[in-house]
Structure 1
Amino acid sequence: MTVGWQALKRYIQRDLLPLLADLRLAIGLLLAIAGFSIAGTVIEQGQSLAFYQANYPEDPALFGFLSWQVLLGLGLDHVYRTWWFLALLILFGASLTACTFTRQFPALKAARQWRYYTRPRQFQKLALSTEVSQGSLAAMVGFLGQRRYRVFQSDHTLYARKGIVGRIGPIVVHASMLIILAGAILGAMTGFSAQEMVPSGETFQVRNILDAGPWAQAQIPRDWSVRVNRFWIDYTPDGTIDQFYSDLSVLDQAGDEVDRKTIHVNEPLRYQGVTLYQADWGIAAVRVKLNNSPVLTVPMRRLGPEEMGRFWGTWLPTDPDLSEGVSLLAKDLQGMVLVYDQSGKLVSTVREGMATEVNGVALSLVDVVGSTGLQIKADPGIPLVYAGFALLMAGVLMSYVSHSQIWALEVDGRLYVGGRTNRAQVAFERELMELLDRLSAQTEALPLATGLSTSASSGA
C-alpha cells in the first residue's frame, strides 16, 4: 500500500504536475474554450427542435456538415452545459492551479528570500553592475529609502528590493481566473432560463423552461408568483415603438404583494436571485361589445411569419348560430382594429371607445389587451464571475509593477553596486545611474556595465 502511494506521488510530482503546468497546454485549452464560447454565441441556444430543423437543414448543411442532427448530437444547442465544455473548464482550472503551485508560488518565495553578495566576483552575473572609488552604504540607504526600496544591511553588505507586489500579481490573476471558472461551472449546473408571454392582469409562475442545469430545480421559484398589473407601449410621433413597459408585482403564496417594479428594456426586476427582463410583446385579446351585450374578451393569435410584419387576428361571430361573423386584425396597441367581412373585404376601422355597424350589429371596441414577453433567468454563478473579473483587473495591474533588486558590497575602500529588474529596464538603469551619481558626488564613476561579459571586466 505504501509502495503504491509513493509511486502515485512520484507520478503526480514528476509527470502529471509538469504536464498540467505546461504553458502550451494552457494556451490550447484557452483557445478551445474561446472557440466553443464563440460557437455558443453564434448558434442560438435552447431553442426547439423545429427551430433547429428549420434553420440547420440536412440538405444543404451549413458549411457542408453542420446540420441539425450534428448540432444536437454535439450539444451545440446548449454548449455551456455540455459535459465536454465543463470538462474543458475543469481541466483548464487544474492547469492554472498546477502552474500556480509549481511556478508562481516558488517564484514568489524566491523573490521574498535573498542573500548578500560578499565577494566582488558575484556582481559579474548581474545585468547591471559597476564599482565606484568613493561612496558608502549609508548614503545608499538614504537614497533607496526615498525610492521606496526595502533595505537589508549587514556589516559591509546591502540588499534592497521593491515591487514584490509584481510577483504576487500573477498569482492573483490565476486565482481570479479560477474564481471565474468556478462561477461559470456553478451557473451552468444550477442556472436556468425561461420565457413567458403573459397578458395584462394575469398572474403566472415560471413554467416555460428553455434551458436548465441539472441542479437548477432549487432555483426555479415555487413559493412565489408574478402578476402583470399592466403592460403598455410608448410610441413616437411617427408611430414606431419608443419603449414598452410592464408593471409587475411579486406575490407570495398567500397572494400578498412582496415586491413591485415597472420594468422596461435594460431595467429588469430582480427577486431572490431570479431576474425578469422585458424582452418581447404581443396582443393577447380584444375586448368588444355586440349591441348591448356584456364585454366579450376574444383571444387573438399571431398571424404569418415575422418577416411579413407583426399582426394579430381573430374571428368574431355576429350571429348566435355562428353563420355570420367578422375577422378582427390588429398590429399594435394604439387602439385601432381593422374589421373584415367573410369574403376578406375591409368593411370598417374601429378605435377604442368607438363603435361601427357590421352585419346589422353594433360592434364596440372596448380595448386591445396586450401581453408582455418576459425573459426569466437565474445564474447563481454571476457574483463569482463579477468578483473574478474585478480581481483579474487588480491582478493585471499588480503584474505591471517592476520587481527590482539592488546589491552593494563595500570592501577595500571600493563600493561594488549591481542590480536587476524583471521589466522597465530603461527606467531601472536611470534609477541606478542616479544612485551612482549621488554616490560619486564629484568623483567620476566608472562606466556602467551592461551584460554579463562587460560586467565581468568592470566588477572583477
Structure 2
Amino acid sequence: MKKNDNMLWRFFASVKLALITLFILASTSIIGTLIPQKNPPAFYIKEFGPELGRLFQILDLADMYNSWWFVAILALFSINLIICTIDRLPNVWRMVVMDNLRQPIDTLAKMPFRSSFLITGEMATATATVKKIMTDGGWKAKADEKENSTLLFSQKQAWCRLGVYAVHLSILLIFAGAIIGTVAGYKGSIMIPEGGSTDKIYQYGTNKPIPLGFEVRCDSFKLTLYDSGMPKEYRSDLTVMDRSNNLSFSKSIIVNDPLDYRGITFYQASYDALQGLKVEIYNKKTGRQQGFEIPFGQKTSWPGTKVEFGIINMQQTRGMARLKVWFSDGSGNPETFWMDGDTTRTLVSPDGEYEFYASQLYATGLQVTKDPGVWTVYFGCILMLVGLYVAFFLSHRRIWVYINKEDGQCRVLVCGTSSKNKLGFEKDFSALSERFRQNDTIQTT
C-alpha cells in the first residue's frame, strides 16, 4: 500500500494535525501558570473545593507538565513531526540535489524572472562571454553544451530548503533532552549546617534520599543584609570531598553562581538560623587561637586555659543577631557585654588581651539538580535558532541561461526563480541582467 493510500499515514502526516496539536499545547500550558504546581492534594481541596480538588488529582493538574495527558499530546506532536518529515523530506532533498541542467527548455520562458539578449558570433564565443558575465556577477555556472545550444545553470543556498527540517529535528532534540533529564536526572534539596557535611540529598516530592557518590561540606555561611534588614546576598563556602577519586576542592557559591561537579549542580537557594553559635578566641599574649561551636546559654571552657565564656542572650535586629556575651579568663571579674554577630570584640584583662569573635550558626539550603539531558536541550535550542534563520531569511535562488544558434547569431534567454524573498531576488536578477546589457557584444531584445 502506498503512503498516500494509507489513512493512518495521512492522518499523522497532516499539517492540520500539527497546528491543532500546537494550539492544544499552547492552550493547556496556560493551566500550569494559573494553578500552583506540585502542592499536596489537601492544598487543592482547600483552595478550590472538594470537587475541583479531586478533578485536579485525576487529571494530574498539580503536576501538569508531567501529567499523562500532557505527555501524550507531546508524544502525538512528536510522531506527527517525524511522519511529516519522512513524508516531505524526500521531495525537498530532490530539489536540493537535482540536476537542473535537465530542465525542459519550454518551461524556462514561463519563469517569473526572465530577459533575453542577442550575441553576434559563434556558440563557443557566446558561451564563454555568458559564463564570464555570470561568474563576475557571483553566479558560478555549470554547462550542458550541445552542437547548436548550451544550457547554463547556477544556484545559491540550495540547502536552505532544509531549514524547516532542522527546526523539526531541534524540537525532537529538545523533547529527547527533557526525557533524558526526567528519566536519568533528579531535583532535590538539602540543608547543611556550618561545619556539617552530607553525601546524599532528598528528592523533591518524594523526599527519597539520593546518594551523591561524594561528600559536600559547608565550611561557612555568610549572610549580607541591606540597611532595611532584608537579605542582600547568601554565600556558602563549600568543599567537595570525593574519596573515590582522592579529590578535594572548595568553592564559594552565591545565587546564580552554583557549584558543578560530576554533572550535579548545587544552587544557593535558602538558609536557616540555628540555635548554635560560632566563637573564635585569639590570645594576643600567647598567640593561641581556638574555634568553638557552642549551644546558646551554656558556659564553655577553653581547654588548657582558664578562659570561660558563653552567650547568655540574643536579639534579632533587622535580621542581624545581637549577642550578650559572658567572658572570664580567671584573672579578674567576669565581663558581660553586647556585641553584633559576625564581628570581633577586643577584650583587655589583667592577664592578657583577647580578640573575641562570635556569630550565629546557619544552615545553608541548597537546591541540587542532575540533568544529563541539558546539553541535548541546549544543542536543540541552538539548532532551532539556526534552522529558523535559514528557513525564514535565506532562499534557494536559481538562474538558467539558455543559448541557441539563430541566423548567425546566438539568442540568450536568462531566467530565474527563488523559493522565497521574491523582491530580494528581483534585485539580484536585475543586477545580473544589467551586466549583460553593459557588455558591448550583447544586444537587448
Could you say whether these structures have the same fold, taking a TM-score greater than 0.5 normalized by the shorter chain as the test?
Answer: yes
Q: What is the deviation of 1:11? A: 6.4
CA distance in 1, matches of 2:244, 2:167: 48
SS in 2 for 1:414: strand
Q: Say yes or no: does 1:334 pair with 2:320.
A: yes
Q: Say yes or no: does 1:167 pair with 2:165.
A: no
Contact 2:3–2:10 at 8 Å: present in 1 too?
A: no
Residue of structure 2 in register with 1:388 after alignment: 380
Residue type matched to 2:322 in 1? M
Residue of structure 1 in register with 2:349 after alignment: none
Residue of structure 1 in register with 2:444 after alignment: 445
Contact 2:192–2:198 at 8 Å: present in 1 too?
A: yes
User: 5 Å matches for 1:297-376?
Assistant: 297=295, 330=316, 334-336=320-322, 351-352=340-341, 367-376=359-368
Gaps of at least 5 residues in structure 2 are: 121-125, 280-291, 300-311, 325-336, 346-355
Residue of structure 2 in register with 1:435 after alignment: 432
Deviations 1:122-163 (A, max 9, x none): 224312223223373433322332444342211222222111
Q: What is the deviation of 1:337? A: 5.9
Report the identity percentage: 25
Q: What is the deviation of 1:94? A: 1.8
CA distance in 1, matches of 2:380, 2:273: 42
User: For the structure 1 residues 188 and 37, does the alpha-carbon distance in structure 2 shift closer, same or farther, using more than 3 Å as the test?
Assistant: farther
Q: Say yes or no: does 1:105 pair with 2:90.
A: yes
User: 5 Å matches for 1:143-154?
Assistant: 143-154=133-144
Choose 123-132 or 151-160, whichever is displaced more. Answer: 123-132
> Aligned match of 1:18 in 4, 10, 28?
10
> Aligned match of 1:133 in 102, 118, 122?
118
Q: What is the deviation of 1:113? A: 0.7
SS in 2 for 1:125: coil
Q: What is the deviation of 1:276? A: 1.0
Contact 1:280–1:373 at 8 Å: present in 2 too?
A: yes
Q: What is the deviation of 1:96? A: 1.7
> Aligned match of 1:416 in 404, 408, 413?
413
Q: What is the deviation of 1:46? A: 3.1
Deviations 1:241-276 (A, max 9, x none): 221111112233589763321111001111111111
Contact 2:225–2:319 at 8 Å: present in 1 too?
A: no
> Aligned match of 1:180 in 174, 181, 184?
174
Residue of structure 1 in register with 2:264 after alignment: 274
Deviations 1:36-64 (A, max 9, x none): 4443355443334454455x3317xxxxx
Residue of structure 1 in register with 2:330 after alignment: none
Q: What is the deviation of 1:284? A: 1.8
Q: Say yes or no: does 1:406 pair with 2:399.
A: yes
Residue type matched to 1:206 in 2? K
After superposition, the CA RMSD in angstroms is 3.6
Q: What is the deviation of 1:330? A: 3.9
Q: Say yes or no: does 1:123 pair with 2:108.
A: yes
Contact 1:199–1:371 at 8 Å: present in 2 too?
A: yes
CA distance in 2, matches of 1:327, 1:108: 79
Contact 1:350–1:365 at 8 Å: present in 2 too?
A: no
Q: Which has the higher strand share?
A: 2
Question: TM-score, normalising length from structure 2?
Answer: 0.74
Gaps of at least 5 residues in structure 1 are: 1-8, 60-64, 299-315, 319-325, 339-347, 355-363, 447-460
Question: TM-score, normalising length from structure 1?
Answer: 0.72
CA distance in 1, matches of 2:369, 2:398: 52
Q: Say yes or no: does 1:72 pair with 2:57.
A: yes
SS in 2 for 1:380: coil
Q: What is the deviation of 1:23? A: 1.6
CA distance in 2, matches of 1:175, 1:421: 25
Residue of structure 2 in register with 1:210 after alignment: 204
CA distance in 2, matches of 1:248, 1:419: 65
Deviations 1:338-361 (A, max 9, x none): 9xxxxxxxxx9875589xxxxxxx
SS in 2 for 1:154: strand
SS in 1 for 2:172: helix
CA distance in 2, matches of 1:191, 1:222: 12
Residue of structure 2 in register with 1:357 after alignment: none
CA distance in 2, matches of 1:73, 1:327: 53
User: For the structure 1 residues 105 and 370, does the alpha-carbon distance in structure 2 shift closer, same or farther, using more than 3 Å as the test?
Assistant: same
